[in-house]
Amino acid sequence: MNSSADTAAVPGQARRLVLEATDLRRTFTSGSRLHPTRVSAVDGVSLQLHAGEVLGIVGESGCGKSTLARMLVGLEKPDGGSLAYHGTDVTRGRMSDRRLLRRGVQMIFQDPYTSLDPRMTVGDIIAEPMAATRSANAADRRARVAELLGLVGLAPDMVNRYPHQFSGGQRQRIGIARALALDPDVLVCDEAVSALDVSVQAQVINLLADLQARLGVAILFIAHDLSVVRHLADRVAVMYLGRIAEIGDTDTVYSSPAHPYTQALLSATPSHSRSDRGKLARRRILGGEPPSPVNPPAGCRFNPRCWMATDECRTLEPLLRTLGARDVSCHHAEDALAQAVMAG
């Protein structure tokens, strides 16, 4: 997917800012009152999502992707920072502003087997958001449900069936239809295809791309499969231990990554192209596991696993800064980028 296609899909709106997170933070506390353990799941994340845009979020398990997603749809309240929807701060102030966020930003969950109520028919599942918000009468809800089923490639006569009568891919299509029921302008997909077979994944990804082009909806697509994100996203953000390591245009980040962690992630991505196979000898192999978010390292959080780490990296936290067509949080981003360009 490319920017020109998005501009055509949403004339005059392609760069309108829809959702803006500024320094979002979320900390969880466990253990006893006397000895609490604090885990910083998201620690100062800032990003923007524009109308008609697909923004991919990638990173290892436990880096804070899902917590970030839940804050963006209003399911988790941030401890710090702010979230603006169409320019209105929805983390503070009026309940009516938060209701607008919940209507306009909808989530597609990871597991289609547990995200649908097994006791409800498909028709009731898709109609539930409309009934809860009283946005349509019964007749209009039935018509809208039939329309949505057709939109996601399911027959309208399936309306009275139950979730157990569908395959995993069909269930995820039902979840997508439910997310579209209130006509949102943002879809947050939290690992929405990771529980599906590879062939079914491709079908659902193509469906999301088609819906984005037809409806002009913005998509924040969270995944651990970098090849999927490259196919779908206009921009990509790489997260590591609760923070953004690199964010920028997808082609730029994938072809010339400027953060060592991004380079390592891309190096570990399987590829069948001849040019990429030639780079196997130069692959970056990360050692160990990510540090614990309970006790993150000083300085750059990636420094214990980074082959470019210096004393500066171990003591001074790098800030996200602009480098070419991306933002990157690395003291030695220029050197890392030069290495990436030489390797390419």
Confidence of residue 277 (pLDDT cuts 50, 70, 90): very low
Question: How do residues 187-202 score in pLDDT, each as one tens digit?
Answer: 999 998 888 888 899 9
Provide the pLDDT for residue 283.
64
Strands 243-249 and 36-50: unpaired
For the entire predicted model, the pTM comes to: 0.89
Which residue would you say has higher pLDDT here, 297 or 92? 297
Question: How do residues 152-172 score in pLDDT, each as one tens digit?
Answer: 999 999 999 999 999 999 999
303, pLDDT greater than 90: yes
